[in-house]
Structure 1
């Protein structure tokens, strides 16, 4: 796997809870994050704001 060759760890995460997803986004962004938002930003200002405020 490419991640192993690069010394990286890939963690898959799924939840239906908006608050849990917001916390996970904020905790994960320091290491790097690939986020497939699908419909979350259309219906969830909290998820949208969590992603937009990553700096």
Structure 2
């Protein structure tokens, strides 16, 4: 629902699911990928030390 509301796409089938220690690093990496693709993307990060949630 969040992706639809923001007009976002997915970067690839199955999504990226970036693994990172700090969710902020993961968010930066996702933003860089979106810039490369030239579209807004919806994805997730796998960060065991970060709190759960949507950012």
Sort the TM-score into its range (normalised by shorter chain): 0.3 to 0.5
Question: Which of the two has higher C-alpha Rg?
Answer: 1
Higher share in helix:
1
Higher share in strand:
2
- Which gives a bigger RCO, structure 1 or 2 (Cα 8 Å, sep 6+)? 2
